Amino acid sequence: MNFKHKYMFLLPGLLVLLGILIFPIGFTVRLSLSSWDSFFPGLDFIGLENYVRLFTDDARFWESFQRLSFLSITTVFLQYILGFSLALMVWKDIVFQRFFRVLFLIPMMTTPVIMTVIWKTVFHESLGPVNDFFSLFGMTPLWLSSEGLSKVTVIIVEVWQWTPFMFLLLLAGLLSLPKEPFLAASIDGAGPIRKFVYVTFPLMAPISIGAIIIRLIEASKIMDTVYVLTSGGPGTSSETSSFYIFIKGLREFQFGYSAALSLTYLIIMIISLTVIAKMLVKLMIRS
């Protein structure tokens, strides 16, 4: 085809995206080298001072990052197990198949922040139904205001919200699998468990990897849930990186410092996601 036409197709999208993004990204880099805050707004130049502060004198950032890693890996792991199980269950041989499929998809269609507000009333420590149930046993767990349990609450809500996405990707994968390997396994007399271990799981490995990576990317942005449920509290015990950057940037208006945080965070994310992707490929293809 003609050489010039291909640019007519590509450029509108590319230029719009670049046009909208080039300023924000360039500006963030420049901002990270300045001390812009609410007292002295303006682009001065302080070199790498923000980065030095970040790496030597900001334990809170690194703690929030550890917490984020813990939360996102745990939730994605749970979502994968649950999503895969659910997809297998409604894959075939089930009554009301379409009803269950639609039902299992619904949570991902709902606005996370709005459903989190509802969850907050569900987990309300004195007026919510969850503690109404636990009070039968004389217990009142502090779902939102104790350090350990607030993380559990965040995980429960994240699992409710996003397992459907995992379910969707994996069910789409299951439905596209070829029939022959299953027939062959049946002829060889393999039971359901052996069929899963030797046929379904290996065939699903590439799709699983894709789904896990997509979910890890999205989970690393956990923010709405934390903001509504606990606001990072009690103290800083459920604060994730995004939320910490949000506080520094848009609550304390330390624009310069939060830009340095953002860029560092972005680079760590890109590197770690690439590494995780490589590791998963190795693990799942081999087994």
Partner 1 sequence: MRTFYVTLKYIAVTLWSMFVIAPFLWALSTSFKDFNSVTSGATYIPWVDFEPTLEGWRVLLRSPAQGGVNIVEPYLNSIFVTCFASLISIALGTLAAYALSRFTFKAGFIRNDDITFFFISQRIMPPVVLAIPFFIMLGKLGLLDTLFGLVMVYVVLLMPIAVWIMVDFFNKVPIEIDETALIDGCNPYQAFYKVVLPNSIPGMVVAGLFCMIFGWTDFFFAFILTFTEVQLLPVAIVSLNSSITPWWSLSAAALVSVAPLIVVAFIVERYLSKGNLSGALK
For the four alpha carbons of 235, 236, 237 and 242, in that order, the dihedral sign comes to positive
Segment 34-53, which members bind partner 1 (CB under 8 A)? none
Give the pair of three-digit tokens for residue 162: 């996003």
Q: Considering only 2-10, 51-59, 138-146, 278-286, which stretch makes contact with partner 1 by CB under 8 A?
A: 2-10
Q: Considering only 127-135, 141-149, 178-186, 231-239, which stretch makes contact with partner 1 by CB under 8 A?
A: 127-135
CB of 62 to partner 1, least distance (A): 16
Fill in the DSSP letter of residue 200.
I
CB of 217 to partner 1, least distance (A): 5
Q: How many CA within 13 A on the CB side of residue 93?
A: 3
Segment 253-272, which members bind partner 1 (CB under 8 A)? 255, 258-259, 262-263, 265-266, 269-270
Q: Considering only 58-66, 146-154, 249-257, 276-284, which stretch makes contact with partner 1 by CB under 8 A?
A: 249-257
CB of 178 to partner 1, least distance (A): 12
Q: Which of 267, 270, 213, 284 is nearest to 32 (CA)?
A: 267
Interface with partner 1, residue 20, by CB under 8 A: yes
* Among positions 224, 226, 230, 238, the unique one binding partner 1 when judged by CB under 8 A: 224
CB of 81 to partner 1, least distance (A): 12
* Among positions 152, 185, 273, 276, the unique one binding partner 1 when judged by CB under 8 A: 273
CB of 16 to partner 1, least distance (A): 6
Interface with partner 1, residue 105, by CB under 8 A: yes
Fill in the DSSP letter of residue 180.
H
User: How many chain residues bind partner 1 (CB under 8 A)?
Assistant: 90
Q: Distance between alpha carbon 244 and the CA centroid of its chain, in Å?
A: 16
Segment 133-172, which members bind partner 1 (CB under 8 A)? 160, 168-169, 171-172
Interface with partner 1, residue 118, by CB under 8 A: yes
What helix, strand, coil percent values describe the chain, rounded to 5?
75, 0, 25
Compute CA distances 116 → 64, 105, 122, 125, 154, whole Å: 21, 17, 9, 15, 9
Interface with partner 1, residue 223, by CB under 8 A: yes
* Among positions 35, 153, 220, 238, the unique one binding partner 1 when judged by CB under 8 A: 220
Strand ranges in 127-280 using DSSP code E only, listed in sequence order: none
Interface with partner 1, residue 194, by CB under 8 A: no
Interface with partner 1, residue 230, by CB under 8 A: no
Residues 6 or more apart whose Cβ sits within 8 Å of residue 66: none
For the four alpha carbons of 217, 222, 224 and 229, in that order, the dihedral sign comes to positive
Q: Are 162 and 75 spatial neighbours (Cβ–Cβ below 8 Å)?
A: yes
Give the pair of three-digit tokens for residue 272: 């770690």
* Among positions 42, 57, 92, 126, the unique one binding partner 1 when judged by CB under 8 A: 126
Interface with partner 1, residue 72, by CB under 8 A: no
Question: Measured between alpha carbons, how far is 150 from 146 in angstroms, rounded to an integer?
Answer: 6
* Among positions 78, 122, 190, 203, the unique one binding partner 1 when judged by CB under 8 A: 122
